[in-house]
Amino acid sequence: MGYSKDAEHVGALGAGQIAKACNNYLHWVHSASNVEALALAKRYGVDAEKMREVLLKSPGDNGTPRNFDRYRFTWHENDIDLVLDLAQDGDLILPMAALTDQLVKPITQGEVVRLLGEESCVYLGQTVAAREAGLDD
């Protein structure tokens, strides 16, 4: 039994695992890039929750922000490790996967909640909060 209401046949035996790995890989790329985009907005005084709402209505919508504050950020290592193993086995260079592996590790549900709803959060060891002055600094 699957965990999704939708099922797609993508190929021969094992192709579903590859499709799942590709989907999960994009989810983690999006998670890291969403945190960074929302941190940038926050730094310049734009409310991160409001920015998330804007992204959900724009070309920046990638699906991940819909439930962003509810993700547990606990299963990314297995997903990215699988992608990196598949790339190595397939003789592919995937630098975004390697970088995502490093960028997503420090993300926690608590920091995403703080990013969206509090004055500051921490990402990659730096405190992210609005600057005192606006864009002209």
Q: What is the mean pLDDT of each run of 10 residues along the chain (137 residues)?
A: 66 86 94 96 96 94 88 86 96 96 92 95 95 65
How far apart CA 75 and CA 11 sit, in angstroms, is 25
Instruction: For strands 120-123 and 126-129, give the pairing.
Output: antiparallel
Token pair 């190929």 in the structure block, residue: 11
pLDDT of residue 1: 45
Instruction: Name the CATH topology of 15-129.
Output: N-(1-d-carboxylethyl)-l-norvaline Dehydrogenase; domain 2 (1.10.1040)
Question: Contact 36/121 with Cβ under 8 angstroms?
Answer: no
Name, in order, each residue with C-beta under 8 angstroms of 105's C-beta and a sequence gap of 6 or more: 76, 77
Rounded to whole angstroms, what are the CA distances from 52 to 72, 89, 123?
A: 18, 37, 17
Identify which of 115, 123, 111 has the alpha carbon closest to the alpha carbon of residue 49: 115
Identify which of 83, 113, 76, 114 has the alpha carbon closest to the alpha carbon of residue 98: 83
Question: Contact 59/5 with Cβ under 8 angstroms?
Answer: no
pLDDT of residue 137: 52
pLDDT of residue 134: 56
DSSP state of 45: T
